[in-house]
Structure 1
Amino acid sequence: MAKILLAEDDDDMRNFLVKALQKAGHEVTSFGEGMSAFEEIKHASFDLLLTDIVMPEMDGIELARRASELDPSMKIMFITGFAAVALHPDSKAPKDAKVLSKPFHLRDLVNEVERLMAA
């Protein structure tokens, strides 16, 4: 299964996502904001960056951009209530990033992660 780095500033949402992904067999490292997540990416490799867009310190788009510079093979998925922001061409989000709009069912998240990792 996938080694996933999760960046989500909502504690309850982060905990739900971690549990759902771990239950599906994935290894998950999680952070409540982008800067700490980016520091982890500098020292460890991940198959997937799963990040919220709107977060304090460093938003998810900046985190994804920096992460893809460090490891172009890392897949990226945004989880957000602001999908239009991620899809906007001026956002500088990685071009092949997947966007999953909130609210979503945890099963949908697991299915999207598995689909992305199989691609």
Structure 2
Amino acid sequence: MIRILLAEDDDAMRTYLARALQNAGYSVVAVDRGTAALPHLANDEFDLLLSDIVMPEMDGIELAQRCAEISPATKVMFITGFAAVSLRASREAPHAKILSKPFHLRDIVMEVQRVFGLSEHATL
């Protein structure tokens, strides 16, 4: 089973995303900030880090950079509502996929499936 570490500071969005991904068959560990994600990356194996970019304490770009050091095999996908921030993410984490808010639950599941080369089997 594909394991996803979700870092999102907005409670409603975190719950929304975690539920959608779990319903699609993924194992999800959800945290409310980048600094809370670091121990999980150090102690567990994840296939994907799905992170908001704008978060308190540590933004998603810094988290992705730390992820690359701690767990280089973990793929990274960003979610953001800020166009300028997505440009910065493209420069500083060029291999990461960026999904702009707002999006439908179907969109996030389809993007995760694409990252892993899976067929579109989930229905939301």
- TM-score between both structures, scaled by the size of structure 1: 0.92
1:60 is matched with: 60
Alignment of 1:22-41 (within 5 A): 22-41=22-41
Q: CA deviation at 1:66?
A: 0.3
CA distance in 2, matches of 1:86, 1:41: 23
1:115 aligns with 2:84: no
Indicate conservation of the 8 Å contact 2:3/2:28, yes or no: yes
CA distance in 2, matches of 1:49, 1:90: 16
CA distance in 2, matches of 1:89, 1:3: 23
Indicate conservation of the 8 Å contact 2:80/2:101, yes or no: yes
CA distance in 1, matches of 2:83, 2:47: 22
The percentage of counterpart residues that share the same residue type is 57
Q: CA deviation at 1:90?
A: 8.6
1:85 aligns with 2:85: yes
CA distance in 1, matches of 2:81, 2:2: 24
- Size of the aligned set, in residue pairs, is 118
Runs of 4+, deviation exceeding 4 Å:
none
1:98 is matched with: 97
Q: CA deviation at 1:89?
A: 7.0
CA distance in 2, matches of 1:43, 1:83: 33
Q: CA deviation at 1:69?
A: 1.3
Indicate conservation of the 8 Å contact 1:47/1:74, yes or no: yes
Alignment gaps of 5+ in structure 1 = none
CA distance in 2, matches of 1:25, 1:75: 18
